[in-house]
Amino acid sequence: MIKWFIQHQWKQEIRSSIWQKNVALNIVIGFFMVIMMLYLLLLGVFLDRILEDVVKDANADITLSKILIYYFIFTFLMRFFLQSLPAMEIIPYLHLRIKRSTIGWFILFKSLSSFFNFIPFLLFMPFALGYMTEEFSGFQAFVWFSSIFLFELTSNFKLIYFKRKFTLNPKLILLLIGGIALLVALDKFDLFSISEISLWYFTQLNTNWLWVLLPLISTIFFVFWNLSMIRKNSYLDDLSPKKTEGENLSAKLNLLQNFGKTGELILGEVKLILRNKRSKSVAFLIPFFLLYGLFFYPQDMYEDAMGILVFVGIFVTGGFLIAYGQYLMAWESTHFDFILSSNIGIQDYFKAKYFLLVIPTLILYVFTIPYMYFGMKIFWINFAALFYNIGVNAPLLLFMASFNKKRMDLSKGAMMNYQGVGVNNFVLVIPLLAVPALIYWPVSVFFGFVPAVLTLGGLGVFGLLFNQSLIKMAVNNFNKKRYQIAEGYRQKG
């Protein structure tokens, strides 16, 4: 039966109009995937040397054992925001003589194809075959690597259950992020060290291989836990759409209607974001945008690399603006003809889009203020980046939205789904992120930090002062292309 499931899934993919009409894009994405895998493999080959250079007074295996717990936390967060729940169209199979457990096994089997499950083979297997084999033995290296891979599988199967629960109750996402942040903070201030626990466990593996049973048992536990959940929820009543907490939230935002036509349009798009998988996945990425600064700000090597800090500042304050704004009109591509034929002023339509980008950016900035802990320079860079995002990048996205003519299906998740994605989306990221850094860097080199920050922020303020004119330019560009856009959105692929 599993063989038939695989055949059906394969035929569904290759017969898809998306697959057939985006061959060139699939080749480009495949090329970048291969490049990324080669980088990970090279990192794995030289991982022991890198660790010994970074921490000179400790062996590579000791240093790696301490930070492995952070690797698992990071990959779990990346899985949560990027990995889609393994799904298949099970409704057509429910009336057939197929056990629900068989369907469940295939869904779990399908989740193993996630890219994250292959990272240990690229990153840690070279370390195990090289350094661990030389320092210990081949058997101990095998046990060490097996434990890492099994922990990754535990993370994979644990995600299936937790993500389903968190999707039904988005408040749990904040608890997840808060819990992880608390553990990291306790470790940083030496109150409760999760890195020492990680070191203790992987050290025990070198003396007693039976400790590998811990991740093995946890993997088996989550496999059968998920199977039980799938069997209990594989009924039409469970698979039919239900009112989610996101819809309850959108109902509470009805006060936006008090702001006229623009407020009504914003409210409609907020409901669109909360009710659809593809758009909701962008909203789920917001915590990741905020945490992105932690990869750079604590590192001394970036303290004087102001160009990189500007890049990070643009990203942490404008992550939602960039991720959502690239497909500004494509989100509504399925009912775009209705927008063109309804009594909606294009000026109001674009103003609503503008405020939809600006308001979350302002909120994101508030949550970046604690980054001043790493220095006031970061605070002022992020402050200037805020103005640049809302004054320059937001109008730029409005103008560039008219160049995206690819239809988007919002019912599908974002992971490995490139429908509605074109080469222009990749090109657009360059001016959004790189240009402000290129503006800031030469001014900083020749005139200093303060003039560079004032230049970057001043461009944003200038854009805010003339935002009505910039929106009008975007409207005029849209009016020239509106029928070409509508024709592109009518295409199913």
Q: What residue segments make up the domains of the chain, in order of their start? A: 2-8+37-239, 276-490
**What is the rounded CA–CA span in Å between residue 332 and residue 256?**
19
- Residue-wise pLDDT for 189-243, tens only, equals 777 888 888 889 998 988 888 999 999 999 999 999 888 887 776 654 444 445 4
Question: What pLDDT sits at residue 154?
Answer: 92
Dihedral pair phi/psi, residue 418, rounded to 5° = -110, 20
Question: What pLDDT sits at residue 5?
Answer: 62
- In the numeric block, which tokens belong to residue 472? 């009008």
Handedness of CA 250, 254, 259, 265 (dihedral sign): positive
Question: What pLDDT sits at residue 234?
Answer: 61
- In the numeric block, which tokens belong to residue 142? 């095998």
Work out the average pLDDT over 110-134: 88
The more confident residue out of 454 and 82 is: 454
- In the numeric block, which tokens belong to residue 260? 């006229």
Confidence band for 416, pLDDT divided at 50, 70 and 90: very low
Name the range with the highest mean pLDDT among 96-110, 337-351, 400-414, 438-452: 438-452
Confidence band for 427, pLDDT divided at 50, 70 and 90: low
- Residue-wise pLDDT for 344-388, tens only, equals 778 888 888 888 888 888 988 888 888 888 888 888 999 999 999
In the chain, what percentage of residues exceed pLDDT 70? 76
- The DSSP result for 176-202, as a single string, is HHHHHHHHHHHHHTTSS-HHHHHHHHH
Question: What pLDDT sits at residue 221?
Answer: 93
Question: What pLDDT sits at residue 9?
Answer: 61
Confidence band for 245, pLDDT divided at 50, 70 and 90: very low
Q: How many residues does the chain have?
A: 493
Rg of the chain's alpha carbons, rounded to an integer?
A: 25
**What is the rounded CA–CA span in Å between residue 181 and residue 176?**
9
- The DSSP result for 353-403, as a single string, is HHHHHHHHHHHHHHHHGGGGGG-HHHHHHHHHHHHHIIIIIHHHHHHHGGG
pTM of the model: 0.58
Rounded to 5 degrees, what angle do the CA atoms 59, 63, 69 make?
155
Closest CA to 122 of 152, 100, 81, 92: 152
What interhelical angle do 260-275 and 277-284 show, nearest 10? 90
The more confident residue out of 173 and 437 is: 437
